[in-house]
Structure 1
Amino acid sequence: MKNRSRKNEGTSESFNKSDSIDRPKSKTMKKKQKNNLPRLGAGGLSLHAFANAKSKDNHYNPALIKKQREFYKNAKKVNKFKKLLKQQNEQNDVSLPQRMIESENGVEEDRDNNKKRIRKDASLRLEELYKKKHEEKEKERLEREAAIKAKKEEIEKAESRRKAMRDKMFKKTRKGQPVMKYRIEHLLETIQDSTKH
């Protein structure tokens, strides 16, 4: 038995040694490492680039690169905006030669008058709209106030009835006994109301 275990131990040791030292990396391991490189930053900076990362006369400064990118992005956006404005102005305005011809003929004055007239019409329409909305709001407010007044009157009437009923129900004789006349009337009224409904 001892001989067998020694043989097994020797073979297992020799197997482990060869496996860890001489064994080449498998293809799947290489693929995984290759796939992980971009995710991990593709190996990072070189030692030289890392050492000079924040120096003044360097070519690689992340903060400067970020500022430059933002500057270029903003410049692109501004240029796009200017182009759009220019296109809109070209569409809305008449070209320069036509303007010169119209100014000679006096058409430009008519256009100005038309613009003034359109502005006046628009202001009148806005004023009318404002008046209509104001009148509608005033009507709604008056209706609300009328409804609130009616509710208050109903509540006051109900409270006065209850107060009168309570005074009658709590009336007592000279000896301190309750007056049964009003209590019996109240019971009869409730019974009549229940039979009607």
Structure 2
Amino acid sequence: MILYMSNILLRFNKKDIIAERNITFYKVFKKKIRGHLKEIIPQVPDIGNSIFKSSYLIGVAFIAWYKAFLEMGLSSDEANIWIWKGTENAIKKIPRFMIPLVKKIYLGGMLRKAEGQTERSKKGTLPEYDWSINYVKVGRNKFRLDTYECGLKKLCKKFGVEEMLPSLCRMDYLTAHYLKYSFERTKTLGDGDEVCNNQFSFIGECAWAPEKGFEHRK
């Protein structure tokens, strides 16, 4: 599954990678990713049917991408920006008429599992690498997910790529922007805070605009 997800992302980004680098770079990069995934995947702890399973799996793929980019001579910042681009290119492939449905599935999936995830978080029965959260309903179309432990942060530490943070965290804004829902956050574990104070709303908009920086939106 992880290799399949990585290959799909590569397919969406092949043209851009070749345009900015060349075909040889792309072929070597693809081979290096496969090698890293072969090494990494057997070491990835299972988190069961977590609310964050898809984020966890794609995070593993991006760790392989990051390692491959560094081996190809890119800096940490350059690698992180490419991962942003890769995600953006993939999301932009979603047809416009499908966005409302994808948003409903994405946010609705969180809501369906949020109370159970919160209960297991409080009881301490989550898998070690799962997200520990607290779900709070704020209004009819708004909810908060406070996160106290993050599986992606643990994976980054396990595989020695903590420089991917907090860049990975910022992609929540990218997703919200293209799926057209409101997202706000002023703290993240990736920035060294004690919590990720995520707030979602089905109604509203969210800017991506990485060129403006993330001083007040973590």
Question: For the superposition of Structure 1 and Structure 2, which TM-score range results when normalised by the shorter chain?
Answer: under 0.3
- Higher-RCO chain (CA-CA 8 Å, sequence separation at least 6): 2
Structure showing greater Rg: 1
Hey, which of these two has a bigger chunk of strand by percent? 2
Q: If each structure's helix is expressed as a fraction of its own residues, which one has the higher value?
A: 1
